[in-house]
Amino acid sequence: MIEYTDLSQPIYKRLKEMIRNGELKQGEKIIQEKIAEELGVSRTPLMKALLALENEYLVESIPRRGMYLRVLDYKEIIDIYVCREALEGMAARLLANRKDASSIKQLKACFTPFLNKERIDMNAYAEADEKFHSLLIKLTGNAPLDNIYFFSNIHDKVVGHGLVRTPDETLQEHFKIIDAIEGGNPDKAEKLVREHINKSKELLINQYKNQKSE
């Protein structure tokens, strides 16, 4: 049962968890009555949460049929990464130019809990990864950029129900990006972000090619 003043926010978060862990699957119809009963909430905040997910390209409303988990084809997924590469690279450049201590502290806080750990909780890391990439945009304070960036959470919700690459690969990449931002190096910060996202994109492209050749 969910208890909260503004119910739409925890419902939104819970639905994203259900997408991440496979409780809700691509193409599946969202039975609002069932979900409302499971969470112990009314239809109004549930619908508000679903509309937020629709804005993030995770849910789609089909006339006379209802709401479904969106099914992305290969091209759409790659196109999303192309958009993310450009937008997050721009955000890193803006943050590096500003060198705001509070913003840098928030970015570091995403991943410091995973340093020097022999075993990393993949769900916790996936949440930290999502928060980091979202913060890159939000901390710029650039409202138009934030509004454009509606693909921010799609990669780790739809592709593989989690991370495209492992923390072994990405943890130090994240800290190198933060270091470039903290050092006030906009060219390096943008380059590192673009490389970071491009590596995941290329991995997905190779996976798709391998699947086609089988």
Under CATH, which number does the domain 8-69 receive? 1.10.10.10
pLDDT for residue 25: 84
pLDDT for residue 134: 87
pLDDT for residue 2: 52
Across 39-53, 120-134, 175-189, which has the greatest mean pLDDT? 175-189
Q: Phi, psi (5° rounding) for residue 39?
A: -90, -10
Q: What is the pTM of this model?
A: 0.72
Going by C-alpha positions, the residue among 204, 196, 162, 207 that lies closest to residue 84 is 196
Mean pLDDT score of the chain: 86
Separation CA 66–CA 60 (nearest Å): 8
CB contact at 8 A, 204 and 78: yes
Angle at 159 between CA 154 and CA 161, to 5 degrees: 95
Judged against a pLDDT cut of 70, whether residue 150 lies above it is answered with: no
pLDDT for residue 214: 60
**Topology given in CATH for the domain delimited by 74-213:** Four Helix Bundle (Hemerythrin (Met), subunit A) (1.20.120)
pLDDT tens by residue, 167-210: 999 999 999 999 999 999 999 999 999 999 999 999 989 888 77
The DSSP bridge partners found for residue 62 are: 66
Over range 153-168, report the average pLDDT: 63
pLDDT for residue 75: 83
CB contact at 8 A, 11 and 149: no
Going by C-alpha positions, the residue among 86, 67, 70, 82 that lies closest to residue 137 is 86
In DSSP notation, 84-100 reads HHHHHHHHHHHHHHH--
pLDDT tens by residue, 61-73: 999 999 998 887 7
pLDDT for residue 152: 47
In DSSP notation, 158-175 reads HSTTS-SS-HHHHHHHHH
pLDDT tens by residue, 74-125: 887 888 888 889 999 999 999 999 999 999 999 999 999 999 998 999 989 9
H-only helix segments in the chain: 8-20, 32-39, 43-55, 74-98, 101-111, 122-138, 143-148, 154-158, 167-182, 186-213
